[in-house]
């Protein structure tokens, strides 16, 4: 992968999904490549959403210690975009122009702010382009 990419929360969650081994394998591959080649990133929002799901909704929820370890070894090194008023303004603009929910618009705004060319997500419109960003579902 030569282009910088953004990982939506669902990609991080699938890395722990033992029920869907193909999705789990693909998610782990994207995360590993992001870390090794420094090509992928996430935002603070992805961290918050992942930690909420991991501690409450996983079949076997992760402990606080396991979350801290994953945060330190994977999530923090990938996190490049943090909250700002400018990011909120961009998200609100995208929400109005593209009819996405606010939180999806916040992910899109973060990917654009990080100068990513690709946003990997299962939840958004596959192959849709927004400015220089293309949304891809890696599981298709």
Averaged pLDDT of the chain = 97
Are 37 and 1 in contact by the 8 Å Cβ rule? The answer is yes
pTM of the entire predicted model: 0.96
The residue-averaged pLDDT of 5-11 equals: 98
Q: Express each pLDDT in 30-87 by its tens digit.
A: 999 999 999 999 999 999 999 999 999 999 999 999 999 999 999 999 999 999 999 9
Q: Express each pLDDT in 54-68 by its tens digit.
A: 999 999 999 999 999
Structural domain boundaries in the chain: 5-83+112-136
């Amino acid at each position: 992968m030569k282009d910088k990419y953004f990982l939506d929360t669902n990609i991080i969650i699938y890395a722990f999904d033992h029920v869907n081994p193909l999705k789990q394998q693909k998610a782990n591959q994207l995360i590993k490549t992001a870390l090794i080649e420094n090509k992928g990133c996430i935002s603070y929002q992805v961290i918050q959403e992942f930690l909420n799901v991991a501690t409450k909704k996983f079949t076997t929820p992760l402990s606080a210690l396991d979350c801290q370890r994953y945060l330190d070894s994977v999530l923090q090194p990938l996190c490049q975009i943090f909250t700002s008023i400018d990011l909120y303004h961009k998200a609100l603009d995208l929400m109005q122009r593209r009819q996405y929910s606010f939180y999806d618009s916040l992910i899109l705004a973060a990917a654009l702010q990080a100068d990513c060319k690709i946003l990997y997500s299962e939840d958004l419109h596959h192959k849709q382009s927004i400015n220089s960003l293309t949304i891809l579902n890696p599981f298709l």
